Chains A and B, each alone.
Chain A
Amino acid sequence: MGLTGLDIYKQLPKKNCGECGPPTCLAFAMALASGKAALESCPYVSDAAKENLGAASAPPIRLVKIGTAPNEVAIGDETVIFRHDKTFFHETGVAILVGSDLDDAALDAKIAKINDLKFERVGLKYTVNLVAIKQVGGGADEYAAFVKKVADKTSLALILMTDSADAMGKAAEAVAARKPLLYGATVENLDAMLALAKKHTVPLTIHGKDLDETAALAEKASAAGVKDVILDAGQRETAKVLVALTQCRRLAIKKKFRPLGFPTIAVTSEEDPLAEIVQASVYVAKYASIVVIKTDVKEQVLPLLTLRQNVYTDPQKPIQVEAKLNAVGAATTDSPVYVTTNFSLTYYTVEGEVSASKIPAWILSVGTDGTSVLTAWAAGKFTSESIAAAVKSSGVEEKVGHRNIIIPGYVAVLSGKLGELTGWKVLVGPREAAGIPAFAKQRFSA
């Protein structure tokens, strides 16, 4: 159970040196109690205190890393149940399943598809993170050889999936340098798997048949000195996985229950790829640190990765686009110029509607620290002055021959002053971006 800040303070050196970051030992103790600092930051803490405080001061969910840079996957270290309480920190790693019964040609094709699961939308890049290599038939040597082949063909992080300690041992040996995740330890093979995880210093999945057994196995892993653990509470039905993931999260964060204070992994059970993505979307929304899926089809994976990006967006830090002039379609010197803010959502909503109007145009995004039109206006960040400055600095004066600029309807009040500052004619556009196609059609269609 968690200690209070005062409990921890009693065991600190009370030097108030500030070398750990917070200015006083008491402040450091409070930060430790809330899981926001690590005991290792204190250079003077006694070994006895370390022993006493180590467990209590660890973050509620351990940060575990799989793979190697630049494709290292860091998961766990979450501190809240609801994203509105702070944010979710380490987004769900998405793993694509590969069976070891593929022949060389099929494997080549499969890995090529997986490596190509890279997406760009609204100025962000999304990728899958891991390849989960499942032993399907064959002996230990064959599995190890297959794993080696996969490792040679992809730089993504690897999950080795087999219950056989023999096969795992040979495969782990073959790709140890890649720091794969071993999946995993069960009641039957626990000791052998623990030994492998220790030998290669790689993370290990603990796979119980339910929450009780998983916690018991995880505790044994900790006792054996295996610290990088990932939990699979054994469920495969959607509602039960949801409950297991929720319980792991709640027990770790609300109760500081150490045996379950680790990242989690969920494996889909749906065979139809579309149903599988919908099932996986539940796990991405509700706390899975890794989700293993079978489909490798772009149009099916993109919606899942988009949901992940949305859920893991920090509610305190809006996503921004670069404040600059952008062309939509084949914009020319005659094309209309729209102004909006650099809040990603606002910008791409406007861009989508301008694009839908089928009339090429320029969009000038003004730097508003990623706030929307009305918020930025209220905060004095989207003003006649800031827009006028953007007009000057963006180079729009050279890009177009006309001197007309369209501002959002909500800030119609800016038009007089903006006109004076720039000498441009200010047109008041629609309030909502959805009105842009009709507005553009009426104003600008030939």
Chain B
Amino acid sequence: MTTAAEDVAARRAGAAGVGLMLPGTLYLVAFFVIPVFALLATSLYVPVPGGDVGQFMPALQWQNYATALAEFWPQLLRSFWFALLATAGALAVGYPIAYLVAVRCRGRPLLQGMLLVLVVAPFFTSFVLRTIAWKQILADDGYVVQALHWLHVLPPDGRLTATSFAVVVSLTHNFVPFMALPIYASLERLDPRLVEAGGDLYAGPWTTFRTVTLPLSMPGVVSGTLLTFIPAAGDYVSASLLGNSTNTAMIGQVIDTRFFRLLDYPTAASLSVVLMVAIAVLVGLYVRRTGTEDLL
């Protein structure tokens, strides 16, 4: 297939391909590449001397980064920490689901389809509405908190709203489908005979899973974790709707506030750049580490 595709492609005139690429590429250059440079430029602006709040002029004020990081490194770190927790949580919820649908329900396409519908069904509710629903579910007089009180898991005055826990639960929930679907795709491609071969070669179910199924589903796990970690690190809807103002703030909230409330564009822009670069570095290391560069 691939070689045939390449054969045909090689014989085609490159010009037509460039023609097809051009409109979309130009669009991305205009509304992605150039804006990123605009963001970089903005991050180096200085206030207009004697100007109003929100008035800046172009400069190369690298100092902006140091100031921004000195003030907001806790929120930045917390964003990555919450994103990491949410990724782990989404993996814990999403992998078994993907396994159930792809492996246990193999050969029953209707059942698989219906279960996949259930996996993506949360997407059919607006993401902000879902986050607010968590507020209701985890409310002080809600069933969950009452049950936890009764079990003495939570002290009598303990609550879940306005805690890091609520933020992470909501983040986790939001990204389970992003985690489960790529894992499902790689488990679906897994040849069941390989699992049988594991059993045939004296590996018990758990050993077979560890030595055969899991390694072969790693591409799905890697894309799932990336699809979860990256947006989770930049998210601030969960943190602002379910957190409190002191110890749950994430970097997205800061960027949002700097831009809109304080009209402090250089700080907001420099924090955005830092977030982007940090994620690029982390993702690069992760992908190198898991040996799945070809995914990119």
Task: Tell me whether A and B are bound partners.
Answer: no
